């Protein structure tokens, strides 16, 4: 190994991904020790740092080319020694000149002073903060002003962050393409509108309201019922949109839907969407969904988690529009875990689901809690040409007869059943028998075609097996 040229040695080290292997490699010889130190560009540390600041300083000295650092104190207790504090961030900002990607998770002793040191990291492109209880808007503003190249920003469970001057500044800078704000008590959905022109460049956006079912959603002072989509914001580059727990104020135990408010405007503006996840977002209209699907021909993945509200945005008609308007759609996940059969009977989706999988190249389909989806729907799924993975959970109307139709589904290779109580062991055994017979017939047919074409060498064709989980 010591006789290898340095470029070749560096290439070998780059291909070793496990930290334990890299540590072992550095003990072989002084040459490998030095080479590994030069090539190590990422580290992940946390509770094992002791004493924290001194240990981190030693790591930065040994690995001078670090560009990605993750500090994670998940599960930390006081018995494990002191956490990294502001001095540790000062060490990173002064001794890691190449730092471009930083993640701080459960770092309770880093406050605005510490996070402010990151303003000196001029190459910083990605900053992820998860449960940083001592960091406020003031510290984030220092980062936004100092880090001109910031393109990815994640803020998760940061309880002290309130005002959004930092968000306005990031929007004006226009460099952020990935923005995640989750479970931050002081940030409401209307605050995100202050991102302004930053929406023009944004490609990935995720927003989740903290404790929305307890605190409710404040009214939007700029909302005009006569012009609900008046927000003059462009987000035509947005490819990945995830909205979660955007729920209006509970009143007397009922959820009151208020349409066309806040971030709902995104559904009318995003034309480049590839992935869409709506997780308990109330106030959506059927017209919102139809307009969205008709404008998003690049949509590849659609996920919907729905509450039992009075206004249901998804119907047979909207699913048909989804299938016909999105020719690249591959993943569809529909979750209705809290909807009763009585409620679902009013918005039967069977016909729409069947037409969806028959008109779009859906490879993965998840149906959870759709209690009125029964054997007739299973018959329709059996003709889905591209369906490879099917997950059925809490679909009470499916019986052994419906499951048997799946033996005709041409591409199906994975099946998961959960709480489909009318499907019995006998039905699963019959399905397995039909699958085995079909596989034998296809293998025999393939072999016969080979011999008919003059091939003499035996060839093996293996059809993907079906992994069935029945809980």
Domains of the chain with CATH codes: 1-40 (1.20.1280)
Query: Is residue 332 over pLDDT 50?
Result: yes
Question: What pLDDT does residue 258 have?
Answer: 46
Go through 456-470 and write b for each residue having 16 or more CB atoms within 10 A of its CB, e for each that does not: eeeeeeeeeebeeee
Question: What pLDDT does residue 225 have?
Answer: 45
Q: Residue 167: enclosing H or E segment and its boundaries?
A: helix 165-173
More confident residue, 349 or 363: 363
Query: Is residue 196 over pLDDT 80?
Result: yes
More confident residue, 158 or 468: 158
More confident residue, 459 or 84: 84
Query: Is residue 422 over pLDDT 80?
Result: yes
- Which one, of 371, 331, 332, lies nearest residue 349 by Cα? 371
Segment 369-411, tens digit of pLDDT: 887 889 999 999 999 999 999 999 988 889 999 999 998 899 9
Going by pLDDT thresholds of 50, 70 and 90, the confidence category of residue 289 is: confident
Going by pLDDT thresholds of 50, 70 and 90, the confidence category of residue 110 is: very high
Q: Is 353 left (phi over 0), alpha (psi -120 to 50) or beta?
A: alpha
Q: Is 254 left (phi over 0), alpha (psi -120 to 50) or beta?
A: beta
Side-chain half-sphere CA neighbours of 431 within 13 A: 25
Query: Is residue 268 over pLDDT 90?
Result: no
Work out the end-to-end distance of the chain between its first and last CA atoms, rounded to an integer number of angstroms. 53
Going by pLDDT thresholds of 50, 70 and 90, the confidence category of residue 299 is: very high
Q: For residue 258, what are its two tokens?
A: 């208020």
- Which one, of 154, 102, 112, lies nearest residue 130 by Cα? 154
Query: Is residue 248 over pLDDT 80?
Result: no
Question: What pLDDT does residue 312 have?
Answer: 67
Question: What pLDDT does residue 456 have?
Answer: 39
Average pLDDT over residues 41-54: 90
Question: What pLDDT does residue 342 have?
Answer: 56
Average pLDDT over residues 415-434: 89
- Average pLDDT of the chain to the nearest whole number: 82
Segment 166-193, tens digit of pLDDT: 999 999 988 999 999 999 988 888 888 8
Query: Is residue 66 over pLDDT 90?
Result: yes
pTM: 0.82
More confident residue, 327 or 27: 327
Q: What percent of the chain has pLDDT over 70?
A: 81
């Amino acid at each position: 190994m010591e006789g290898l040229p340095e470029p070749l040695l560096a290439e070998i080290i780059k291909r070793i991904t496990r930290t334990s292997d890299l540590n072992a490699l550095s003990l072989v010889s002084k040459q490998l020790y030095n080479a590994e130190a030069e090539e190590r560009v990422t580290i992940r540390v946390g509770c094992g740092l002791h004493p924290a600041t001194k240990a981190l300083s030693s790591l930065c000295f040994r690995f001078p080319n670090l560009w990605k650092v993750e500090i994670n104190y998940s599960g930390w207790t006081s018995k494990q020694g002191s956490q990294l504090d502001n001095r540790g961030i000062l060490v990173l900002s002064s001794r890691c000149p190449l730092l471009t990607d930083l993640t701080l998770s459960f770092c309770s002793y880093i406050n605005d002073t510490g996070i402010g040191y990151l303003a000196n990291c001029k190459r910083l492109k990605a900053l992820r903060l998860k449960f940083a209880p001592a960091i406020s808007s003031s510290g984030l503003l220092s980062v936004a002003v100092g880090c001109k190249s910031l393109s990815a920003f994640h803020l998760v469970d940061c309880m002290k962050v309130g005002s959004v001057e930092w968000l306005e500044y990031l929007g004006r800078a226009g460099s952020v393409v990935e923005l995640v704000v989750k479970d931050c008590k002081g940030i409401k959905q209307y605050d995100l509108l202050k991102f302004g022109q930053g929406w023009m460049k944004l490609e990935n956006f995720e927003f989740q309201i903290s404790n929305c079912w307890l605190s409710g959603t404040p009214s939007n002072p700029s909302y005009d019922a006569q012009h609900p989509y008046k927000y003059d914001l462009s987000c035509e580059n947005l490819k990945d949109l995830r909205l979660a727990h955007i729920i209006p104020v509970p009143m007397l135990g009922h959820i009151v839907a208020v349409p066309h408010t806040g971030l709902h405007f995104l559904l009318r503006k995003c034309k480049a969407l590839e992935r869409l996840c709506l997780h308990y977002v109330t106030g959506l209209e059927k017209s919102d969904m139809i307009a969205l699907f008709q404008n998003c021909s690049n949509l590849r993945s659609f996920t919907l988690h729905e509450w039992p509200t009075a206004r249901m945005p998804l119907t047979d008609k909207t699913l048909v529009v989804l299938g016909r308007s999105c020719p690249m759609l591959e993943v569809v996940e529909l979750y209705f875990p809290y909807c009763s059969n009585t409620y679902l009977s009013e918005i039967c989706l069977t016909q729409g689901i069947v037409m969806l999988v028959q008109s779009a190249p859906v490879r993965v389909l998840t149906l959870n809690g759709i209690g009125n989806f029964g054997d007739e729907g299973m018959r329709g799924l059996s003709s889905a040409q591209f369906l490879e993975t099917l997950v059925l959970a809490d679909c009470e109307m499916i019986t052994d007869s419906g499951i048997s139709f799946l033996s005709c589904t041409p591409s199906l290779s994975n099946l998961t059943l959960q709480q489909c109580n009318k499907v019995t062991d006998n039905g699963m055994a019959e399905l397995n028998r039909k699958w085995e017979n079909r596989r034998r017939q296809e293998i025999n047919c393939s072999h016969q075609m080979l011999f008919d074409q003059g091939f003499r060498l035996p060839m093996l064709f293996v059809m993907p097996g079906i992994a069935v989980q029945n809980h």
